[in-house]
Amino acid sequence: MEGKPIPLLTPHTMGRFHLSHRVSTCKVFGELPQSLHNLCLGISSCLEVYFCICNQPDETSVVLLDARVVHAPLTRSRCYNNLPGEHIVLYYSQRASKGGLLITESTGVSETAQGYPSTPGIWTKEQVEAWKPVVEAVHRKGGIFFCQIWHVGRASTYGIITDSQSCHPSRLDIHKYLPCQLILCIFYNSFNRSPEALTAISDKHYITDYQPSGQAPISCTDKQITPEVQEDGTVEVFSAPRRLREDEIPCIIDDFRLAARNCIEAGFDGVEIHCAFGYLIEQFMKDSVNDRTDKYGGSMENRCRFALEVIQATINEIGAERVGVRLSPYSNYLDCWDSDPDALGLYMIHAMNRLGVLYCSTVEPEVIKVDGKVQIPYKLLHFRKAFAGTFIVAGGYNREEGNKVVSEGYTDLVAYGKWFLANPDLLKRFELNAPLNKYDRSTFYTPDPVVGYTDYPFLDLSSV
């Protein structure tokens, strides 16, 4: 590789996107009471034509990425009360570089979108304001910054006892609890609600409740995710969801539209719509979960309708040149898989082409290790060939594999998760072919604002 350009560090032109970080004049509606919210939605529809005109990308401008190394979306559970704080500013600015693309961690579009501890939101004005310094810090370093917007759907809980203040979501070991705690839980379940809450009911026990107004989490179905026994013997439990009525679906689509508008208000260059990993949009898309008999269930066209309506509404709001989509047709997380993932992925990609989606970020099927070495399945080429925009792959890539797939035209960009998490200067290390910091799984989701988060060391350049 000596002397030759490193494929991962070559430039790439992405779409025809306006990169002025223009501040929108639209107000943030997310936190208003429902009646006012509806009124504002009406006004906003009237203004839609105005915004469409104002936000037309400049046809001649493009996003010129300086490298093909993307910061993958990484949930870190450190946004206390759903707000990104100063340590989040530091984390992203550590990883930002001129012309480098960063995607944020999954960011909730509404109160009902939450299901995990301390994940950020972008549905209130306070959250939009909290994101602004993060975005500014990334832009100051010349980075391009997209916000991944999500709704967890049925991957959420309300009124469930847990013995952990951190980590993933509801670990329930029924034998550990006293009957009085279970009664308290039922009582709490009936009367007391808060949107992102771990309420202590003893020194060690908490009730997790991520849903507002005493409601069950929402989904396309009322089937609960099968409780899963973890390696440590605890059981991961999500609450039974409530099946959305057809007439409620436009409101959820509108939450995505508003969240996208809020992202632009916060200064982001665009949004990535999370249609992957068993969360709400994928719950609609995949036939292991979707058991509806209305126009949102049954055929592939019907199952993809919700995803495509979300994408269309987001594009109408902020322009196709600012909208990326993440898909994981092969994944089976959270009981969510499809009997024909190839057809599902291709159906979505052809529809996304028609809508002019800027990029498609796709995840390899589960990566396995053989003799301690990661084996990448390379299953995404037919998707890459079918997609008209920028194509991003993720899942198990290192420097060598990344260079290989870029130089062979298998993808335009490679998203790095765990390696970027542990190496704030990943691009520099790739440039110098320097060793990488090892990642520490035990701190992926712990709440400490520093440890395992912003304390991964930079390369000591004097020793290289």
Contact flag: residue 106 with ligand FMN (CB under 6 A): yes
416 among known catalytic residues: no
- Closer CB to ligand FMN, residue 172 or residue 426? 426
Contact flag: residue 71 with ligand FMN (CB under 6 A): no
Contact flag: residue 394 with ligand FMN (CB under 6 A): yes
CA distances from 354 to 318, 386, 410 (A): 17, 12, 22
* Footprint (CB under 6 A) of ligand FMN, residues 423-452: 444
Q: Which of 278, 396, 424, 452 binds ligand FMN (CB under 6 A)?
A: 396
* Footprint (CB under 6 A) of ligand FMN, residues 327-366: 363
For the bound state, the minimum distance from the C-beta of residue 374 to ligand FMN, rounded and expressed in Å, comes to 8
Binding mask 310-329 for ligand FMN (x = CB under 6 A): ----------------x---
Please state the separation of Cα 11 from the chain's center in Å: 25
- Closer CB to ligand FMN, residue 44 or residue 156? 156
DSSP state of 77: S
In terms of Cβ atoms closer than 10 Å to its own Cβ (0-12, 13-18, 19+), residue 200 is exposed
- What's the CA gap between 63 and 144, in Å, rounded? 8
- What's the CA gap between 288 and 306, in Å, rounded? 16
Question: With contacts defined by CB under 6 A, how many residues of the chain interact with ligand FMN?
Answer: 21
Task: Tell me which residue of 397, 412, 402 sits closest to 360, measured CA to CA.
Answer: 412
- Closer CB to ligand FMN, residue 65 or residue 147? 147
Task: Name the one residue in this structure whose structure tokens are 């190394």.
Answer: 69
- Closer CB to ligand FMN, residue 79 or residue 363? 363
* Footprint (CB under 6 A) of ligand FMN, residues 249-288: 274, 276-277
Q: Is residue 247 within 8 Å of residue 296, measured between CB atoms?
A: no
Q: Which two tokens stand for residue 158?
A: 């309300």
Which range of residues in 36-44, 109-117, 257-265, 392-400 is near ligand FMN by CB under 6 A? Answer: 392-400
- What's the CA gap between 365 and 131, in Å, rounded? 32
For the bound state, the minimum distance from the C-beta of residue 106 to ligand FMN, rounded and expressed in Å, comes to 4
CA-CA-CA-CA torsion for 145, 151, 155, 157, nearest 10 degrees?
110
Q: Which two tokens stand for residue 133?
A: 């310094």
Which residues have CB under 8 Å from 191's CB, separation 6+? none
Contact flag: residue 125 with ligand FMN (CB under 6 A): no
Which range of residues in 81-89, 153-161, 206-214, 389-397 is near ligand FMN by CB under 6 A? Answer: 389-397
Contact flag: residue 88 with ligand FMN (CB under 6 A): no
- What's the CA gap between 244 and 112, in Å, rounded? 12
In degrees rounded to 5, what are phi and psi of residue 378? 50, 55
- What's the CA gap between 37 and 30, in Å, rounded? 7
Q: Which two tokens stand for residue 87?
A: 């340590």
Candidates 91, 188, 210, 279; catalytic one: 279
- Closer CB to ligand FMN, residue 157 or residue 443? 443
Q: Which of 24, 55, 75, 110 binds ligand FMN (CB under 6 A)?
A: 75
- What's the CA gap between 177 and 204, in Å, rounded? 10
For the bound state, the minimum distance from the C-beta of residue 74 to ligand FMN, rounded and expressed in Å, comes to 4
Q: Which residues here bind ligand FMN, judged by CB under 6 A?
A: 72-75, 105-106, 148, 274, 276-277, 326, 363, 394-397, 416-419, 444
Catalytic positions are 279
